[in-house]
Structure 1
Amino acid sequence: MADSTRSRCADADAGGQDLHTIGEAAALTSVSAKMIRHYEGIGLIPAAARTAAGYRLYGEGDLHRLRFIRRARALGFSMKQIEVLLGLWSDDARSSAEVKRLATRHAEELGVRIAEMQAMQRTLQDLARRCHGDARPDCPILDDLSGHTRPDG
C-alpha cells in the first residue's frame, strides 16, 4: 500500500481494525471492485467507510461478508436469497430450520433447472445428429428453431 493510502487508512481507522482499499478488498475476497460497488449500491454490504479523499475502506467484517456473498453466488443463490441468508446469518436468534428450508428449496429449484437443461441438451444433440452438416441448405436445426419440420428431416 502506498504511504499516502496508508496514512489515509490510518486517519479513517478510528476502531483500530485493518482497513483495505477496494482494490485490496477485491484481491482478498476474489470479488471484483465493480461487484463490491454493486453490492454496496443494492445494500448487501453496508456503505464503506471513506477517507477524507473519498476512497472506500473495508474492514474485516466487510471482507467476511463479501466472501459469504461470493460463496452464496457460487452456489447459485439469487440476490434476494442472499439478502435473506445474510439476514439470517447476522441474526443470532435465527432458527437453523429457516436456513435449511431456504437451502432445500434452492436445491430443488436447481434440480428442476438441471433437468430442463438436460432436456435442452438432448434436443440439441438429436437435432445435430439429424443435420447432415454438408453443403445442402436444408437443416433440421434451423427448421426446429423456426417451428417448421420437414418430413424427411
Structure 2
Amino acid sequence: MMNLKIGELAARTGCQAETIRYYERRGLLDAPTRSGGNYRLYGARHVDRLTFIRRCRGLDMSLDEVQSLLAFQDHPEQPCCGVNDLLDQHIGEIQRKMSELQSLQDELLRLRARCQSTGRVRECEILRDLVS
C-alpha cells in the first residue's frame, strides 16, 4: 500500500499541494487517511484520481464537468451515454470558443492591415481605428 505525504503526491502528479487540498474540499478527491502525526497519507487511488483530474483539466474541462465524469467513473455499471453527452457538450463549447477566437484573429488582422508604414504614432491608423 502506498502512503504518500501531500508533498510526495504533489511531486508525483505535478499538482500543487494547495490544489490537492482544494480538490479534497470540493469532493473530487477522497479524504486521505492520517498518520500518527496527523499527516495526510495518500494511496494509489489518490494518484490515479488526481492524474484523471489533471488530464481533464488539461482538456479545458470545468471542475463541475470533472466531478460529473468522476461520478460516472465511480459507478461503472451505468451506460456510458452520459459520458458521451458530457463530452459532446464540451466539444460544442470548444467549437464556440474557437469561432470566437477566429473572429478575434480576423479583427486583429484587419487592424494590423490598416498600418503598413513605419511612420509616427500620431499617424497610426490602428490607434485611430481603435478610438472610433
Say whether the fold is shared (TM-score over 0.5): yes
Match of 1:74 in 2: 58
3-state SS of 2:121 partner:
coil
Q: Shift of the alpha carbon at 1:73?
A: 0.5
Structure 1 unaligned segments of length 5 or more: list them. Answer: 1-16, 149-153
**Structure index of larger Rg:** 1
- Which residue identity is paired with 2:98? I
Matched, 1:137 2:122: yes
Q: Distance in 1 between matches of 2:16 and 2:77?
A: 32
Matched, 1:84 2:65: no
Q: Distance in 2 between matches of 1:24 and 1:100?
A: 34
Q: Shift of the alpha carbon at 1:133?
A: 5.4
Q: Distance in 1 between matches of 2:108 and 2:13?
A: 38
Q: Which of the two has greater helix per residue?
A: 2
Match of 2:45 in 1: 61
Structure 2 unaligned segments of length 5 or more: list them. Answer: none
- Which residue identity is paired with 2:122? P
- Which residue identity is paired with 1:90? D
1:1-153 aligned at under 5 Å gives the runs 17-131=1-115, 132=117, 134-146=119-131, 148=132
3-state SS of 2:122 partner:
coil
Deviations 1:78-122 (A, max 9, x none): 111101000001112221111011111111110110111111011
Q: Shift of the alpha carbon at 1:52?
A: 2.8
3-state SS of 1:94 partner:
coil
Structure 1 residues 104 and 133, CA, compared in 2 at 3 Å: closer, same or farther?
farther
Total equivalences in the alignment = 131
* TM-score, length basis structure 1: 0.77
- CA RMSD between the two structures: 1.8
- Which residue identity is paired with 2:85? R
Identity across matched positions, percent: 36
